[in-house]
Amino acid sequence: MQGWFYSTPKASPDWPNIFYILSAIGNFKDFGKAQDIFGSYATNHWERWLKPTMPSDAHLIWVLLARPKSRGFIKLADANPMSKPIIQPAYFSDTGDEDVEALIDGLEFLVKMYEGTKAFQVAGARMNPVPMPGCENYIFKSRRYFECVVKTLPQTIYHPSCTAPMGKVGDPRAVLDSELRVIGTRGLRVADASVMPVITNANLNAPTIMIGERAADLIKASWLPRF
């Protein structure tokens, strides 16, 4: 189930920067372990955090940055095409900590909505009362506590993008021209989420399909007149 958007105080109300995904998942026996595997957390933070509340009804909400300021990179390790690439997401590397502050704002809004509205209080909704492992020394629900939570469990959700962006020829960041062709090569185009210069602030499935459709049109326009 998809969720809704929220504009933090520093964001434009017409261009939200927080995206919530709702997951109606109960806190079953191996849920924490599954989340640790999904996020590659060797520290078992999820399992240790959720175990004291098992079993219980639960409503998991993912708080996502729809428009992150931080920028990571993907680079070739060497000239061997079989070598694994160097992937650095560079979470929270933006100047001014805008990404961290936005996620804290998003968490505060979420807790306020769940614990301060009649609709959710009818169900007795509340934030997990067990402090996040590693964040026990901060006042529970304070901004410092939420900052610790944000920095303890960051992860990419589903759609990395913008790693081979379109741009003008001569732009040092551009990998592709405006027709999705790899600059400096012939007969090679890219048609996926990597071509975006800037991430869209929603699920990338529909935009990526659109890019594929556009690529098909460009290829047909280039080749059909030759036959």
> Where in the chain are the domains?
2-24+59-152, 159-227
pTM of the model: 0.84
Least confident piece of the model among 53-57, 172-176, 194-198: 53-57
207 contact partners, CB below 8 Å, separation of at least 6: 193, 196, 200
Specify the pLDDT at position 42. Answer: 62
Label residue 177 exposed, middle or buried (CB < 10 Å: 0-12, 13-18, 19+): middle
Selection from 20-34, 51-65, 185-199 with the highest mean pLDDT: 185-199
Residue 2 has pLDDT above 80, yes or no: no
* Contact call for residues 134 and 152 (beta carbons, < 8 A): yes
Give residue-wise pLDDT tens across range 68-117.
Answer: 999 999 999 999 999 999 999 999 999 889 999 999 999 999 999 989 99
Q: Is 59 a catalytic residue?
A: no
- Summary mean pLDDT of the chain: 87
Specify the pLDDT at position 49. Answer: 77
- Classified as helix, coil or strand, 134 is coil
Going 213 to 217 to 222 to 227, the CA torsion angle's sign is: positive
Specify the pLDDT at position 154. Answer: 84
Q: How far apart are CA 167 and CA 164, in angstroms?
A: 10
Predicted confidence band at 7 (pLDDT cuts at 50, 70, 90)? confident
From 159, 162, 191, 201, the catalytic residue:
159
Which region holds residue 175: left if phi is over 0, alpha if psi is between -120 and 50, else beta? Answer: alpha
Q: 220 vs 43, which has greater pLDDT? A: 220
Q: Which is nearest to 99 in space by CA: 218, 199, 208, 223?
A: 199
